[in-house]
């Protein structure tokens, strides 16, 4: 599949209260429009997007692929996530906190076997509050630790709390790392229970979605096991890594230019609301009454 990617500076991508990352970009200097032809899968596309220096919120809308992402690992529940994913032949992307690798040195390699690894900074710090040199250290130290344990070159990066600005964008671009945000938030970090987590994801899901989850929360594991993975299977979504998503269903130039709002689409998922209700195991009349936040 060939498409092209262009960019201009992103200054406003999200609406307040969307549940997706707030834009913290403060300008950063616009880049001239450019066109890119995507011909190589996965890492090639990732590298191209990283050079553009703009964050990724989602893939395209053309395939039935979704990228689950798990932040803040590795940790005591990592093996449970991996077991569930393996059972479903699912892939995912793990954004790791560098300093945690000292306690869990074997897990990154196991995660790599089932997906892609990303840099979630060394100490899970708010990068937007740091000078450029400290941002660089946070990214480089974590990347080095992940590479040492998993023997992989790390190209993906996610700022803790989705907090970024022009300095963060510039450093990531200089390091050749793609800033991967999300367009669907499970709200597991906010204390949602397992049924709420599943509802938050399923009610906002659409092809090309990048889903924010955390691997060290028991409620997240329970949501995956009992609702999410079975429902996604019934909806016939293919669960892929972020590089796979970019290879199979890359965002269009228009999507990238619109940031988070570029992830909106008219029909929210493959299948009607009725189909999704069936996947959720609830009646249609109940489905319409369920409260959920509007992601976009
Ligand atoms: Zn985090």
Residue 9 lies in a domain: no
Cα 290 to middle of ligand 1, angstroms: 28
Residue 126 CA to ligand 1 centre (angstroms) = 10
Any domain includes 280: yes
- The answer to whether residue 5 sits within a structural domain is no
In this prediction, residue 219 has a pLDDT band, given cuts at 50, 70 and 90, of very high
pLDDT band at 1 (very low <50, low <70, confident <90, very high): very low
In a domain? residue 56: yes
Where residue 232 sits, what CATH number does that domain have?
A: 3.20.20.370
Nearest Cα to Cα of residue 95 among 167, 48, 16, 154: 154
* Residues written for the chain: 296
For residue 13, pLDDT beyond 90: no
Question: pLDDT tens digits, residue range 107-135?
Answer: 999 999 999 999 999 999 999 999 999 99
More confident site: 130 or 269: 130
Which of 208, 162, 174, 210 lies closest to 60, judged by CA?
208
- In three-state secondary structure terms, 179 is strand
Q: Assess whether pLDDT exceeds 80 at residue 93.
A: yes
The verdict on residue 35 lying in a domain is no
CA distance 51 to 205: 28
Q: Is the pLDDT of residue 230 over 50?
A: yes
Q: How far is the CA of 108 from the centre of ligand 1 (A)?
A: 16
Higher pLDDT, 15 or 179: 179
Distance between Cα 288 and ligand 1 center (Å): 32
For 69, the domain range is: 43-287
Distance between Cα 227 and ligand 1 center (Å)? 23
pLDDT at position 42 is: 66
Q: What is the mean pLDDT of residues 142-147?
A: 98
On the question of pLDDT at 74 being above 70, the answer is yes
Predicted confidence band of residue 59 (pLDDT cuts 50, 70, 90): very high
| Domain membership flag for residue 37 | no
Residue 122 Cα to ligand 1 midpoint, Å, equals 11
User: Using one digit for the tens of pLDDT, what is the confidence trace for 241-254?
Assistant: 999 999 999 998 88
Whole-number Å distance, alpha carbon 291 to ligand 1 midpoint, is: 26
* Six-digit token string for 228: 């999410």
Sorting pLDDT into bands at 50, 70 and 90, what band is 22? Answer: very low
Q: Output the pLDDT for position 21.
A: 56
The per-residue pLDDT for 35 is 36
User: Helix or strand or coil: residue 200?
Assistant: helix
The rounded Å distance from CA 49 to ligand 1 centre is 22
Ligand 1 centroid from CA 258, angstroms: 24
Q: Does residue 11 fall inside a structural domain?
A: no
Q: Which residues are placed with Cβ below 5 angstroms of ligand 1, an ion?
A: 71-72, 160
Which of helix, strand or coil describes residue 7? coil
Question: Ligand 1: distance of its center to the CA of 142 in Å?
Answer: 13
Of 161, 164, 157, the closest CA to residue 116 belongs to 157
* Residue 255: predicted pLDDT: 86
Question: Cβ atoms within 10 A of the Cβ of 148, count?
Answer: 12
Dist. CA 161 → ligand 1 center (Å): 6
- How many structural domains does the chain have? 1
User: How far is ligand 1, taken at its centre, from the CA of residue 255, in Å?
Assistant: 25
Average pLDDT over residues 266-283: 39
Q: Is residue 240 part of a domain?
A: yes
């Amino acid at each position: 599949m060939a498409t092209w990617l262009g960019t201009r500076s992103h200054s406003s991508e999200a609406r307040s209260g969307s549940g997706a990352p707030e834009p913290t970009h403060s300008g950063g200097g616009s880049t001239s429009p450019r066109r890119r032809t995507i011909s190589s899968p996965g890492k090639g596309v990732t590298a191209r997007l990283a050079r553009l220096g703009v964050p990724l919120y989602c893939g395209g809308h053309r395939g039935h692929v979704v990228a689950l992402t798990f932040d803040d690992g590795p940790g005591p529940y990592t093996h449970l996530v991996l077991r569930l994913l393996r059972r479903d032949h699912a892939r995912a992307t793990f954004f790791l906190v560098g300093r945690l690798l000292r306690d869990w040195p074997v897990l990154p390699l196991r995660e790599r076997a089932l997906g892609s690894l990303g840099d979630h900074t060394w100490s899970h710090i708010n990068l937007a509050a740091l000078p450029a040199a400290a941002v660089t250290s946070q990214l480089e130290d974590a990347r080095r630790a992940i590479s040492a344990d998993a023997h992989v070159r790390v190209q993906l990066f996610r700022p803790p709390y989705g907090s970024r600005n022009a300095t963060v964008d510039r450093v990531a671009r200089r390091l050749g790392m793609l800033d991967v945000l999300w367009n669907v938030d499970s709200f597991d970090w906010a204390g949602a229970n397992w049924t709420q987590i599943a509802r938050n994801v399923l009610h906002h899901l659409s092809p090309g979605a990048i889903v924010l989850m955390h691997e060290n929360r028991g409620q997240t594991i329970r949501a995956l096991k009992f609702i999410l993975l079975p429902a996604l299977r019934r909806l016939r979504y293919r669960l892929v890594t972020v590089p796979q998503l970019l290879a199979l269903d890359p965002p269009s130039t228009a999507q990238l230019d619109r940031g988070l709002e570029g992830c909106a689409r008219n029909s929210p998922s493959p299948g009607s609301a009725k189909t999704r209700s069936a996947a959720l195991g609830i009646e249609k009349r109940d489905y319409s009454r369920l409260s959920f936040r509007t992601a976009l």
